[in-house]
């Protein structure tokens, strides 16, 4: 077998469909489009496109942000944890007291605060760009005292 007979070295652009004489690639594309159309028609007949969210309503206005679709997807699917670390830390800082209040022991509260502070320090060390890290470190002793006060109050 010489190199020209191998399938990977053959020039397939000159292949012709025996029935039509068209280039084989063109015929494959045309048939694929027909197959896709047939699948859509069958799905419509089964009612798979009935009652979709937003059916019959105009498309929402698109803002000038090219990532509008990504924001809508994140909002619709309730995806979390994809913020830049600086923004995620701000969000977590605002929710930290409520998370601490769910913990049962002082040891767990201290561990949670130490982990949070480590994240802040690590975010400040990284030079990956993005928004600045403005989240302050938490004073562990003061936070533990506040946690105790909320538990007794």
Per residue of the chain (153 residues), what is the pLDDT tens digit? 555 555 555 555 556 666 666 676 777 787 888 889 999 999 999 999 898 888 888 877 667 777 777 778 888 888 776 778 888 899 899 999 999 999 999 999 999 999 999 999 998 888 667 788 899 999 999 999 999 999 987
> How many residues are given for the chain?
153
CB contact burial 23-59 (16+ within 10 A = b; e otherwise): eeeebeeeeeeeeeeeeeeeeeeeeeeeeeeeeeeee
The 3-state DSSP class for residue 65 equals coil
What is the pLDDT at residue 86? 87
> Domain residue spans in the chain?
3-46, 85-152
What is the pLDDT at residue 33? 86
What is the pLDDT at residue 111? 97
C-alpha distances (whole Å) from 78 to each of 70, 81, 92, 106, 131 are 12, 10, 16, 32, 23
What is the pLDDT at residue 115? 96
What is the pLDDT at residue 76? 83
In this prediction the pTM is: 0.50
């Amino acid at each position: 077998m010489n190199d020209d007979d191998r399938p990977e070295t053959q020039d397939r652009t000159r292949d012709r469909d025996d029935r039509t004489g068209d280039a084989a690639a063109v015929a494959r594309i045309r048939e694929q489009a027909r197959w896709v159309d047939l699948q859509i028609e069958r799905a419509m007949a089964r009612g798979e496109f009935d009652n979709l969210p937003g059916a019959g309503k105009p498309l929402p206005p698109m803002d000038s942000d090219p990532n509008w679709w990504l924001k809508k997807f994140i909002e619709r699917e309730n995806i979390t944890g994809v913020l830049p670390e600086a923004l995620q830390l701000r969000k977590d800082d605002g929710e930290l007291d409520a998370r601490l209040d769910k913990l049962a022991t002082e040891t767990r509260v201290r561990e949670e605060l130490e982990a949070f502070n480590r994240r802040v320090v690590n975010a400040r060390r990284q030079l990956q760009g993005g928004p600045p890290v403005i989240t302050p470190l938490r004073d562990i002793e003061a936070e533990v005292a506040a946690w105790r006060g909320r538990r007794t109050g």
